[in-house]
Amino acid sequence: MTAYLIRRGLQMIMVVILATIAIFALLNAVPGGPLSGLNMAVGAKNRLSPQEIARIEQTLGLNKPFYLSYLTWLLGEDWLDEVGNMIGNPGPAEKMFTTGTWADLQSPQCAAAGGTNQGTPEGKRPPCGRGVMRWDWGESWKLARGQTVTSVIGSRIKNTLILMSTVTLISLVIAIPIGIISAVRQYSKMDYAVTTFSFFGIAMPVFWFGLLMIILFTLKFREWGLPYFPSGDVFTTRVTPGSIQDVLGITPYTMADRIVHLFLPVTVLTLLYLAGWSRFMRSSMLEVLRQDYVRTARAKGLHERAVIAKHAARNALIPLITIVVFQIPGIFSGAILTETIFNYPGMGRLFIDALGRDDWPIVMAILFITAILVVVATLIGDILYTIVDPRIRFD
C-alpha cells in the first residue's frame, strides 16, 4: 500500500507538471495572445514603437523562451542573476537567447532592484517574482491590472465555495433517498419518474436550462406581477419595487440578499448534480440488493426497513462517496457555465473572463490549482476505495 501510494503520488506530480508545461508551451507557441491587440490603433502616432512593445514584453515576461518563463513562473526570477554569475555569463548572452543579458530576462522592476529581493522593506511587495512554489502567483495583466493573482482569486473564492458547497449538500441530501427508493421499488411509477428525470437532467445543456430559469423566474414573474428573482450577481445595490427583496423586505448586502441571489444558480446546478447522482445511487443500490448478504439479512428475519437502511444502503453509498470525492475539484473551479449565465462573480466566471482577455497569470493559477485538486481528489478516491472495501488491493 505504501509503495503504491508513493508511486501514485510521484505519478500525480508528474501529471501536474506535464499538464502545466504543455499549457505553457501552447500559450507561448501560438500566435496572438496578449500583445495581439496592441498595434491595432489607427494612425502612426497612436501606434507603439518597437521599443515600447519590447518593454511591455519584458514586463510581462514574454521575451523569454517558454521553458525559461515556465521556470520563472514556477521558481521565481530572483535567482536568474546568481545563476548567470555562476555560469560566468553576466554580460551579453546572445549565444543562448536573442536578448541581451540575464537581467533583460527579468521584469524591469526586478532588474532595477538588482535582480534580488534582499533589502525589500517589510510589508512591501518584493520587486522580483518569487514563483508559484514560494506562493507568488504573479500579478494580473488585464482583468485587475497590478493586483496580485492571489488577491483576485481571494475576492472570488468565497462566492464559489458558498455556491458549490450548498449545491453539493442539497444534491446529496435529495439524491441519496431518491436513489434508494427508486431502486427498492424498481419499475414502480416513482422509479420511472426518477429515471426519466435523470435522463432529462443529463441531456439538458446547463446554459440553456439557466436561460430558461431566468426567463421564468425573472422575466415572466415580473410580467405576471409575482415577486421575481434577481437574474444574476450576489448582492443587490438597490431594491426595485416588485422584486422578491422588496416583497420580503430584504435589505441589500445581507445574508438574506445572498440567499435570494443563490436561488436560481443553486436550483440549476442542483438539478444537474441530482440527475447524475440519483441515477448512480439507484444502480449502485440495485447492485447491492442482489447480494447474498442482503438475502441473509432478510432470511434471519430482519425488518425490511432495517435490511435496506443498515445492510444495503450503507454499502451502496460507498461508490457514491468516491464519485463525490472526484468532484471536489469542481467545487473549487466552480461551475463555469452556471456562473457565466447568472453573472455570478466566482472562480468559474473569473476563469472565462481571464481566458477571454488573455490574462495568463490568472488562467495559469486556476488551471494549476484545479489540476492539483483533481490529482489529490483522485488519490483520495483511490485510498477511500481501499478503506471502505478491504477486498480491493493496490500493489
Partner 1 sequence: MSVAEIDISSLQAEALLTGKPEPLILTYWRRLRRHRLATASLIALILIILSVVLGPIIMSRMTYFNVARNEEINYSRDTQDLRNINAAPSLEHPMGTDELGRDVLFRILMAGRLSLFIAFTVVILSESFGMFLGAVSGYYGGRTDSLIQRLTEFVIILPTLPLLLTLSSILRDLQIPFLPAEWGQAVVIIAILTIFGWTGSCRLSRGMVLSLRNQEFTEASRALGMSNFQIISRHMMPNALPPIIVNASLALGGVIVLESALSFLGFGIQPPVATWGNMLQGVQKDMFTAPWKALYPGLMIFVTTLAFNYLGDGLRDAIDPRLKL
Query: How far, in Å, CA of 337 to CA of 335, rounded?
Result: 6
Q: Quick one: cell of 202?
A: 443529463
Using CB under 8 A as the binding rule, the residues of this chain from 21 to 40 that contact partner 1 are 23, 26-27, 30-32, 36
- Contact code string over 218-257 relative to partner 1, x by CB under 8 A: -x--------------------------------------
Selection from 268, 386, 264, 381 nearest residue 320 by Cα:
381
Q: Is position 275 an interface residue for partner 1 (rule: CB under 8 A)?
A: no
| 3-class state of residue 57 by DSSP | helix
Distances (CA, A) of 301 to 184, 297, 298, 305, 308: 18, 7, 5, 11, 13
* Residue count, binding to partner 1 (CB under 8 A): 45
Give the residue among 385, 181, 382, 388 at the shortest CA–CA distance from 285.
Answer: 181
Q: Return d(Cα 200, Cα 215) in angstroms, integer.
A: 19
13 in contact with partner 1 (CB under 8 A): no
Question: Whole-number minimum distance, CB 355 to partner 1, in Å?
Answer: 5
Among 207, 246, 291, 383, binds partner 1 (CB under 8 A): 207
| Residue among 269, 340, 344, 361 that touches partner 1 (CB under 8 A) | 340
Closer Cβ to partner 1, 1 or 202, answer by number: 202
Q: Which is nearer to partner 1, 178 or 366 (CB)?
A: 366
The nearer residue to partner 1, 15 or 144, going by C-beta atoms, is: 15
For the CA atoms of 142, 147, 148, 151, what is the dihedral angle to 10 degrees?
Answer: -110
Q: Which is nearer to partner 1, 91 or 356 (CB)?
A: 356
Instruction: Specify whether the CB–CB gap between 309 and 181 falls below 8 A.
Output: no
User: At 148, is the secondary structure helix, strand, or coil?
Assistant: strand
Does 93 contact partner 1 by CB under 8 A? Answer: no
Nearer to partner 1, 19 or 388 (CB): 19
Q: Is 19 in the site for partner 1 (CB under 8 A)?
A: yes
The interface mask with partner 1, positions 163-202, x = CB under 8 A, is ------------------------------------xx-x
C-alpha cell at 210: 439557466
- Backbone phi and psi for residue 359, each to the nearest 5 degrees, phi listed first: -90, 80
By CB under 8 A, which span of 131-139, 150-158, 309-317, 362-370 interacts with partner 1?
362-370
Nearer to partner 1, 275 or 312 (CB): 275
d(CA 58, CA 53): 8
Dihedral sign from CA coordinates of 123, 128, 133, 135 = positive
Gap between the Cα atoms of 348 and 160, Å rounded? 8
Q: Which of 336, 350, 362, 365 binds partner 1 (CB under 8 A)?
A: 336
**How many whole angstroms from its chain centre is CA 334?**
5
> What is the binding site for partner 1 (CB under 8 A)?
11-12, 15, 18-19, 23, 26-27, 30-32, 36, 199-200, 202-209, 211-212, 214-215, 219, 329, 333, 336-337, 340-341, 351-352, 355-356, 363, 366-367, 370-371, 374-375, 378
